Amino acid sequence: MSETEILLRCKKGDKHAFGILVNLYKKRAYFSALGFVHDRDRALDLSQEAFVKVWQSIKKIDPDRKFFTWYYTILKNVCLNDLRKKTNQPRPYSEFIDFDPEEIKDSTVDISKTLENDELKKLIWDAINKLNKNEKEILLLREFQDLSYTEISEVLNCPQGTVMSRLYSARKTLKSKIGEHLK
């Protein structure tokens, strides 16, 4: 079943079709929210809250447009509203590092390599978090969400040329910041 068919069924109130849609996008939605709030539990809650809002306004969706573009706009607003309400600072980078306790049991794991990878991840995320808001958002949408320039332009309601120039600037800044540390 195509996304358009699923969306048409959703518009008719088909909860099963909506469940399919949620399953298709829940992981991508979670990581998008995580990019805003830097907190795993809140990211999960907010991505689910955004899906609820989508269901409540599903009759407004245009089945001929990409679902995720529409969903992301809703998710972004949910996350920004949550951030306005919260006075908490983002949690430290350490929450982004994947940790598998089984690796400790495996004597073949090279601990120094794991530490190097974690340090590189931290370096990259620190550099991303130092970008200005517009550049960071465009970079995350392009590199982590695989949205096209056109889709990013629609989501952010800005010209495609602006998207391209901000992405270029973000990549250049990242290359500079990360390059300094790798020398």
* Domain definitions of the chain by residue range: 1-88, 92-183
pTM of the model: 0.59
∠ CA 137-143-144, nearest 5°, is: 80
Q: Is the pLDDT of residue 141 over 70?
A: yes
- Considering only the top CATH level, what class is 92-183? mainly alpha
Q: At 112, phi and psi to the nearest 5?
A: -65, -35
Q: Could you tell me the pLDDT band of residue 105, with boundaries at 50, 70 and 90?
A: very low
Residue 22: predicted pLDDT: 92
Residue 91: predicted pLDDT: 46
- Considering only the top CATH level, what class is 1-88? mainly alpha
Query: Which residue in 39, 48, 58, 72 sits closest to 140, CA to CA?
Result: 72
Distance, CA of 76 to chain centre: 9
| pLDDT one-digit tens code per residue, 21-51 | 999 999 989 988 888 888 889 999 999 999 9
